[in-house]
């Protein structure tokens, strides 16, 4: 008995040593790290993102994992606080030793962790909007959501088609609003558009008629509102209350059903650029994205209720990372990074991604659809 | 030297941790954050705990130091040390200017005034996009170099912050036992009594306010270089409240109370993340129970409790009295 126990003990010890000695053994999990703003002011971003990541990691694991290895999702709630995000990213890198990071709901926290990610040399796919994240290009940092600059460009493109030359700009005081405003001002001359008014409001304001009365006094042919949260809904309502009839444009920041609910009838006729996810069922069958979008939408809605474009960014980030790991055939960080950069023709919820050494986003303007709200629902503008 | 025994024990602990655990996340990463918070809490404790005043806007000074360093080094290419000095000078001037009118207020009014100041400074950080980068913050802040020695790893930062933190604690301990410290405590006890004893109460309060603000500015500059990034969220109203909470939680009018409060309040959320969704619930429950069972604060309550227990064991004949006067 004693001898047998000794032998089995020895065997167990050897197996244990083998596991320690060969860290890249097939049985080891692939560790995907993430930090998201699940609580706090940006929770409407982090919540669907985390649900999406968890849903797909569970699904892949149930089907036997990736390359025979299970995926482990390590998550920390940053509350959109850059300081917390930095500590958690260090924790992911040093303590949890993750292979790749997919996360960062807000632009601020993404920018805050960038120096750490670059120093540690770990592939990082951000889920935040600002163009500053990938411009100038940082070696290890990628992102999946469209930029605010693309939104402004898409809106101006549509204005050009409609012959609108003079635009009144109104924006909030949040990070998204401010960045969007700057890009809109910067891009306007390229599209031959003059900004005739540039009004701002506080993120908690409940009435914007003062700013809009000023806009009414100008010769603006359209109003462009960059913002998210309740602000844009109030602006939309106030515009109609003041009897202003010029076309109204919103940004992709309002691309959720909540906006239509809040703004009510006033939202009808409003145009905005958004990812095709919102109109997945209205896309023609020939659209390459349709299949991917419908699968994601059905799966997500079966489990968590109404789909949002933000969760879609997490889907794109996760699968770009996982496909890169499969192509690299390992979780070697340098190889995975190189493969992420080589992502071509990846059909995601945000569009078709074609990354390169100069472009760590890989989406073009075609990834945005121009939508118009009609009868309380999204419709495609052709 | 006996009064500094506690300090030397603390120095030994701070010095030993990185030797024992050189690659431990909780030492080198959380430890640095704890160091920042200890300086802020100890500095604020001088003003809140000893002088008996209140400031709900201290994060503003922390932020001013950080932004001074961030703006001067990235936009104008200044040396970090020069930027830190200029930031310190600016905070000294601003704190001195506002201290006179603001410190005429007492109680709730002082709380409101400092709160307002903190919020105004934060709004400026958010709105002046061309200078501060607005809500998205500023990146690309260079690291620190001390006579050619680059502070470029977590362990090195631990060393730098540890030295700054220990110096702050030492200065705080010394101030308390000096004439200025006794004047502070006199102001806390009764301003009128202090005045009749010849203490210039307005000047005393103003001095400690400015000193505490300058320390916050200094650590703010270090914070900017350590993070290589600053954004207004790191210096908003909630940060001010967090520093006050550290002081109150550890125990007012005790330097090591502030140290202890900063350690507990920084470490707990990091340890509790394993509870996922219940993290905030458990953190809240712990804080509430500390305040219910140890209203004098964690450190003060525990040391007093320990002393009382010892006394009770020594003279068993009067256990009830010994327990009651703690």
Residue matched to tokens 């006067």:
B325
Residue B112 domain flag = yes
A106/A80 Cα distance (integer angstroms): 6
The pLDDT assigned to A203 comes to 76
User: What does the pLDDT read at residue B2?
Assistant: 64
A59 vs chain B: nearest CA distance in angstroms? 21
**Mean pLDDT for the stretch of residues B116-129:** 92
**Mutation to test the B interface, candidates A74, A105, A115, most B Cβ within 10 Å:** A115
- Count of the separate structural domains present in chain B: 1
Burial class (CB in 10 A: 0-12, 13-18, 19+), A34: buried
Query: Rounded distance, CA A345 to CA A105, Å?
Result: 24
Q: Assess if residue B319 is contained within a domain.
A: no
For CA atoms A226, A230, A234, A237, the dihedral sign is positive
A130 neighbourhood in chain B, CB within 8 Å: 136
Is B305 part of any domain?
A: no
Cα–Cα distance for residue pair A40/A78, rounded to 1 Å: 9
CB contact under 8 A, B135 and A114: no
The two three-digit tokens of residue B249, written as one number = 């939680």
The pLDDT of residue B119 is above 90: yes
Predicted confidence band at B24 (pLDDT cuts at 50, 70, 90)? confident
If you search the block for the tokens 């030994």, which residue do you land on?
B12
Min distance A74 CA to chain B CA atoms (Å): 10
Q: Best of A111, A141, A204 to disrupt the B interface by mutation (most B CBs within 10 Å)? A: A111
Residue closest to A38 by CA, chosen among A49, A47, A26? A47
CA B223 to CA B137: how far, in whole Å? 14
Q: Are the beta carbons of A111 and B30 separated by less than 8 Å?
A: no
Distance from CA of B154 to the nearest CA of A (A): 10
If you ran DSSP here, which 8-state letter would residue B230 be given? Answer: E
With contacts defined as CB-CB under 8 Å, which chain A residues touch B22? Answer: none
Q: What is the pLDDT of residues B243-257, one digit of tens each?
A: 999 998 888 888 999
Is B65 a domain residue? yes
The stretch A190-210 carries a mean pLDDT of: 91
pLDDT, average across residues B161-165? 96
Determine contact, residues A343/A323, Cβ cutoff 8 Å: yes
* Residue B287, domain member (yes or no): no
Residue of A nearest to B279 (CA): A77
Neighbours of A69 (CB within 10 A): 18
What's A120-181 look like in SS3?
Answer: HCCCEEECCCCHHHCCCCCCCEEECCCCHHHHHHHHHHHHHHHCCCEEEEEECCCHHHHHHH
pLDDT tops 60 at residue A14: no
Q: Which domains does chain A have, with CATH numbers?
A: 30-146+290-364 (3.40.50.2300), 149-281+368-380 (3.40.50.2300)
Q: Which of B30, B136, B273 lies at the smallest CB-CB distance from A76?
A: B273
CA-nearest residue to A41 within chain B is B233
**What residues of B are in contact with residue A39 (Cβ under 8 Å)?**
280
Q: Dump pLDDT digits (tens) for B143-152.
A: 998 888 888 8
| Residue matched to tokens 């949260």 | A229
Question: Could you tell me if residue B9 is inside a domain?
Answer: yes
Whether residue B114 lies inside any domain: the answer is yes
Chain A positions in Cβ-Cβ contact with residue B127 (cut-off 8 Å): 173
- Asked whether residue B284 is assigned to any structural domain, the reply reads no
Q: Are A365 and A276 in contact (CB under 8 A)?
A: no
Is A82 an interface residue toward B (CB < 8 Å)? yes
Tokens of B253: 């009018």
Looking at A150-154, A168-172, B198-202, which range is the least confident one?
B198-202
| CA gap A91, B24 in Å, rounded | 10
Radius of gyration of chain A (CA): 23
B227 and A86 in contact by Cβ < 8 A? yes
Angle between helices B179-189 and B154-176 (to 10 degrees): 70
The string of pLDDT tens digits covering residues A310-323 is 899 999 999 999 99
Q: What is the DSSP track for A8-53?
A: HHHHHHHHHHHHHH-TT-TTSPEEEEEEE--SSTTHHHHHHHHHHH
Could you report the predicted ipTM of this complex, rounded to two decimals?
Answer: 0.82
| Residues of B within an 8 Å Cβ radius of A | 23, 25, 29-30, 33, 126-127, 129, 134-137, 139, 154, 227-229, 231, 233-234, 270, 273, 279-280
By residue range, what is the domain housing residue B128?
2-237
Is the minimum CB–CB distance between A87 and chain B shorter than 8 Å? yes
Best of A95, A175, A182, A253 to disrupt the B interface by mutation (most B CBs within 10 Å)? A175
Answer yes or no: is pLDDT of B318 > 90.
Answer: no
Question: How far is the C-alpha of A322 from the C-alpha of A335, rounded, in Å?
Answer: 12
Alpha carbons B237 and A176: distance in angstroms, whole number? 21
Residue among B79, B218, B137 nearest A86 (CA)? B137
CB pairs under 8 A between A and B: 72
């Amino acid at each position: 008995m004693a001898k047998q126990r000794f032998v089995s003990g020895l065997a167990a010890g050897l197996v244990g040593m083998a596991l320690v000695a060969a860290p890249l053994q097939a049985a080891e999990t692939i560790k995907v790290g993430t930090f998201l703003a699940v609580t706090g002011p940006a929770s409407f971003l982090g919540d669907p993102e985390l649900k999406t990541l968890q849903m797909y990691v569970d699904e892949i694991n149930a089907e036997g994992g990736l390359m025979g290895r299970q995926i482990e999702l390590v998550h920390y709630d940053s509350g959109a606080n850059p300081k917390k995000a930095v500590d958690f990213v260090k924790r992911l890198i040093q303590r949890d030793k993750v292979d790749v990071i997919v996360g960062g709901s807000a632009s601020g926290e993404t920018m805050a962790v960038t120096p750490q990610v670059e120093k540690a040399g770990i592939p990082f796919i951000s889920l935040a909007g600002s163009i500053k994240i990938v411009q100038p290009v940082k070696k290890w940092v990628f992102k999946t959501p469209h930029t605010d600059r693309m939104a402004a460009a898409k809106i101006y493109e549509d204005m050009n088609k409609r012959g609108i030359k003079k635009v009144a700009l109104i924006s909030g005081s949040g990070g998204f609003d401010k960045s969007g405003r700057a890009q809109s001002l910067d891009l306007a001359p390229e599209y031959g558009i003059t900004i005739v008014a540039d009004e701002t409001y506080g993120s908690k304001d409940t009435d914007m008629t003062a700013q809009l009365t000023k806009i009414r006094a100008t010769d603006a042919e359209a109003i462009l509102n960059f913002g998210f949260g309740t602000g844009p809904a109030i602006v939309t309502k106030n515009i109609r209350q003041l009897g202003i009839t010029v076309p109204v444009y919103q940004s992709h920041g309002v691309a959720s059903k909540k906006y239509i609910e809040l703004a009510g009838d006033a939202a009808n006729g409003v145009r905005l650029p958004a990812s095709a996810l919102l109109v997945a069922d209205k896309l023609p069958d020939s659209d390459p994205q349709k299949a991917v979008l419908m699968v994601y939408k059905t799966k997500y809605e079966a489990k968590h209720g109404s789909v949002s474009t933000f969760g879609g960014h997490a889907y794109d980030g996760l699968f770009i990372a996982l496909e890169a790991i499969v192509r690299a055939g390992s979780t070697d960080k340098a190889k995975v990074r190189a493969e992420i950069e080589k992502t071509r023709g990846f059909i995601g919820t945000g569009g078709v991604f074609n990354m390169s050494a100069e472009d760590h986003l890989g989406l073009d303007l075609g990834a945005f659809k121009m939508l118009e709200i009609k009868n309380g629902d999204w419709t495609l503008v052709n | 030297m006996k009064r500094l025994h506690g300090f030397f024990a603390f120095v030994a602990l701070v010095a030993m941790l990185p030797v024992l655990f050189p690659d431990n996340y909780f030492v080198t990463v959380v430890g640095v954050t704890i160091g920042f918070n200890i300086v802020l809490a100890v500095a604020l404790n001088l003003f809140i705990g000893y002088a008996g005043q209140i400031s709900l806007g201290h994060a503003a000074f922390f932020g001013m130091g950080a932004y001074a360093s961030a703006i001067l080094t990235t936009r104008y290419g200044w040396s970090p040390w020069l930027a830190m000095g200029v930031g310190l000078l600016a905070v000294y001037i601003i704190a001195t200017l506002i201290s006179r009118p603001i410190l005429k207020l007492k109680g709730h009014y002082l709380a409101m005034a400092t709160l307002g100041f903190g919020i105004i400074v934060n709004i400026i950080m958010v709105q002046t996009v061309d200078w501060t980068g607005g809500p998205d913050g500023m990146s690309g802040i260079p690291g620190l170099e001390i006579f050619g020695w680059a502070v470029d790893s977590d362990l090195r930062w631990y060393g730098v912050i540890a030295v700054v933190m220990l110096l702050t604690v030492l200065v705080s301990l010394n101030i308390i036992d000096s004439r200025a410290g006794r004047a502070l405590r006199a102001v806390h006890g009764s301003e009128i009594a202090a005045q009749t004893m010849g203490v210039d109460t307005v000047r005393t309060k103003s001095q400690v306010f400015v000193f505490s603000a300058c320390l916050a500015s200094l650590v703010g500059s270090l914070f900017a270089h350590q993070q290589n990034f600053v954004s207004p969220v790191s210096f908003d109203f909630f940060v001010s409240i967090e520093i006050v909470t550290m002081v109150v939680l550890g125990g007012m009018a005790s330097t090591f109370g502030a140290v202890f409060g900063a350690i507990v309040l920084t470490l707990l959320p990091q340890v509790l993340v394993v509870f996922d969704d219940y993290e905030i619930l458990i953190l809240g429950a712990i804080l509430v129970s500390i305040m219910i069972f140890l209203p004098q604060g964690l450190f003060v309550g525990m040391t007093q409790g320990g002393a009382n227990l010892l006394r009770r064991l020594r003279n068993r004949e009067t256990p009830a009295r010994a327990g009651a006067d703690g």
